[in-house]
């Protein structure tokens, strides 16, 4: 039996939308046969900002048991799914800060030849979802990584309409992660695992 693909789902979430998508990706990846690690990146916002938003406070407490990602998790993984809310059409500072700690692995060539993909959320429709994913993928190009997007490879992708990755419009918390977004996440996770399996050296 082939060795399972090692999949790291690494994300930042302030109030929980990206966490919900990350958990769906984790479950779909595991169902596809991968060995999955669900990991968050460190919070950088000041406590005063967190305390000013009850949803942020609640989510911070609810996810206290999710481990923090480390560069060693990237080295371990065959495939990585990065998740972030949009921040002015770009990657959140928290996820970007984690990516910026990977220079040592990059210098050793240890970020190259892995599969990478991204997922995102925004408060309103459009609102930088695609530019955020493109910005994330710019870092992957520098890694020498292999970007695997869902594309329009499944009829369900014509429902959510984003070929670059899973995305969700949360309406400032008014729109919970729905079946359309969960289906998109399932398709993305399955495709990432499938392509990563094809890239594994023959036994």
pTM (predicted TM-score): 0.97
Confidence of residue 135 (pLDDT cuts 50, 70, 90): very high
pLDDT of 38 above 70: yes
Beta-strand pair 79-87/90-91: antiparallel
Q: Which helix (H) or strand (E) holds 80?
A: strand 79-87
pLDDT of 192 above 70: yes
Residue in the structure block whose two tokens are 């060795």:
3
| Backbone dihedral angles phi then psi of residue 140, each to the nearest 5 degrees | -65, -40
Please report the pLDDT score of residue 173 as a whole number.
Answer: 87
Burial of 72 (0-12, 13-18, 19+ CB in 10 A): exposed
pLDDT of 33 above 70: yes
The residue count of the chain comes to: 203
CA–CA separation, 104 and 86 (whole Å): 27
CA–CA separation, 3 and 26 (whole Å): 18
Please report the pLDDT score of residue 203 as a whole number.
Answer: 66
Please report the pLDDT score of residue 12 as a whole number.
Answer: 98
CATH 3.40.50.720 is held by the domain 6-199? no
Handedness of CA 162, 168, 172, 176 (dihedral sign): positive
Burial of 156 (0-12, 13-18, 19+ CB in 10 A): middle
How many CB atoms are located within 10 Å of the residue 152 CB?
12
Please report the pLDDT score of residue 201 as a whole number.
Answer: 83
Give the residue from 26, 39, 104 showing the smallest Cα distance to 66: 39
List Cα–Cα distances, 63 to 18, 60, 121, 193, in angstroms: 12, 6, 18, 25
CA–CA separation, 2 and 140 (whole Å): 27
The DSSP call for residue 68 is B
List Cα–Cα distances, 200 to 6, 94, 114, 195, in angstroms: 11, 31, 10, 9
Segment 55-103, tens digit of pLDDT? 999 999 999 999 999 999 999 999 999 999 999 999 999 999 999 999 9
Confidence of residue 1 (pLDDT cuts 50, 70, 90): low
Confidence of residue 182 (pLDDT cuts 50, 70, 90): very high
Tokens of 131: 């530019």
Segment 12-23, tens digit of pLDDT? 999 999 999 999
pLDDT of 138 above 60: yes
Percentage above 70 pLDDT, the chain: 99
Segment 98-110, tens digit of pLDDT? 999 999 999 999 9
Residues 6+ apart with CB under 8 A from 162: 129, 130, 150, 184
pLDDT averaged over every residue in the chain? 96
Domain ranges of the chain: 6-199
């Amino acid at each position: 039996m082939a060795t399972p693909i090692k999949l790291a789902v690494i994300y930042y979430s302030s109030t929980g939308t990206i966490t919900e998508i990350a958990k769906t990706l984790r479950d779909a990846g595991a169902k596809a046969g991968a060995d999955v690690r669900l990991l968050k990146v460190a919070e950088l916002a000041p406590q005063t900002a967190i305390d000013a938003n009850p949803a942020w406070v609640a989510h911070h407490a609810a996810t206290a048991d999710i481990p923090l990602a480390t560069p060693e998790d990237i080295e371990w993984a065959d495939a990585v799914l990065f998740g972030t809310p949009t921040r002015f059409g770009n990657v959140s500072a928290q996820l970007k800060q984690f990516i910026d700690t990977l220079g040592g692995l990059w210098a050793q060539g240890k970020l190259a030849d892995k599969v990478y993909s991204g997922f995102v959320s925004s408060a309103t429709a459009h609102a930088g979802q695609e530019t955020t994913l493109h910005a994330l993928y710019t870092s992957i190009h520098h890694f020498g990584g292999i970007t695997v997007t869902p594309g329009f490879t499944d009829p369900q992708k014509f429902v959510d309409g984003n070929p670059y990755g899973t995305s969700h419009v949360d309406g400032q918390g008014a729109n919970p992660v729905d079946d359309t977004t969960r289906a998109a996440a399932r398709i993305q996770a399955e495709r990432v695992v499938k392509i990563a399996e094809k890239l594994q050296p023959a036994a």
